[in-house]
Amino acid sequence: MNLADFREALLLQMERKTHWAWPAFTGGLVPKDKLHIHLEHEWDVYVRDFPVMVGRAYVQCPIPEVRRELAENLYEEETGGLAAGRPHPELFMMYPKGLGMDLGRFESVELLPAARAYRVFLDDSTTNRGWSVAAAIATLFIEGTAYERHELDNSAPARPQPALEDHPLVKHYGLPVECLALTKAHRSVEGEHRKAAWRVMLDHVPANERERVVTAMRQAVDAWRAYRDGVAEACGVTRDTMALTA
């Protein structure tokens, strides 16, 4: 696989990172007493341990330039020392706290079957498949969006960034704006994180590993979509209800 084909294959997989039920979550259609299911699963599936996943890529990588990119990402996620002032997992917990949720739920989350399978995939792909796959899954897939093409081509659509006051948790569920510290931190550092992820992929992944990386990315999208299907169902969102609101 040549570099241009590798780049396009990665972009095509990232453009698959969409889900039919997401408008229900951004549009306030999920009952507030069910919203905790979404936040608990995000926490347990990846948010709490995301710095660990980046660290796994770091310790496996033999390339100093890549390790430096990963180390900067890891430092910010684990400490908030570059932008946020606090570890990013701690900032995430401001969401459920600000919404008045029972934080004890987050200490022992019972994952839905597809969520458990997705977490197993994340652990396997960041631990057992080499640094290229680990970096792709941790920094490109987990942190990335369906708008990745904009990171490489300014003429492509950019990820929407509404005012904080229009954030779905604020607008529909009454979250105080000051509880969006993680959102603000992401907006501050995410641009550089996206550029770093693409530099690592396009400048340093060996040609003989590109096919494996694309395969892992395809598996990631499939597992993530199944995970989001399960969460949507548990939150009472179905394809039929979404069709009625379209």
**Taking residues 31-49, what's their average pLDDT?**
96
How far is C-alpha 200 from the chain's CA centre? 18
All domains of the chain in start order, with CATH:
3-240 (1.20.910.10)
Per-residue model confidence (pLDDT) at position 246 = 57
The upper half-sphere exposure of residue 70, i.e. CA atoms within 13 Å in the direction of its Cβ, equals: 30
The encoded tokens of residue 26 equal: 């951004």
To 10 degrees, the CA torsion angle through 78, 84, 90, 94?
Answer: -160
Cα separation, 177 vs 170, in Å, equals 6
Distance of alpha carbon 50 from alpha carbon 75, whole angstroms: 12
Each residue's pLDDT tens digit, 193-246: 889 999 999 999 999 999 999 999 999 999 999 999 999 999 999 987 776 565
